Structure 1
């Protein structure tokens, strides 16, 4: 179970459907994707966007990361950097 009001990084946010559902439950979402087209779709549901290869966030600011694509090697170490160990 996800603690209430978690800050969740959704890598591969795609069209933002899952991220929007999590946001509706009261979580704060950061959605990122490698595809600009997918980010455009997600932006209709969620404000803001970023390039998943950069993850422009400070260290330990994320409570949980959701990524349906664990094989994204370019993103793995950056995801660890921004995810808190709480």
Structure 2
């Protein structure tokens, strides 16, 4: 991401000037990667339970408000995740 979308670096306080190689060698980003994988797994596992799915997604977004992320970024990411889960599970988005 740091190589392909350098404009998003502003959301990573203290790492704004990291290179892609710095990210690869960073314990911070290794831990963050694990947290992201866990979050996506939770979204996939709760996909069929509409209220839990939406609550977890909402809570995740709310936890990141302090980082001043553009809501449009969340929308794009959320749509991509939902589309992937929908295709993988052969289900429809629960609304």
Relative to total residues, which structure has the larger helix share, 1 or 2? 2
Between 1 and 2, higher relative CO (CA 8 Å, sep ≥ 6) is seen in 1
Relative to total residues, which structure has the larger strand share, 1 or 2? 1
Same fold (TM over 0.5): no
**Whose Rg is larger?**
2
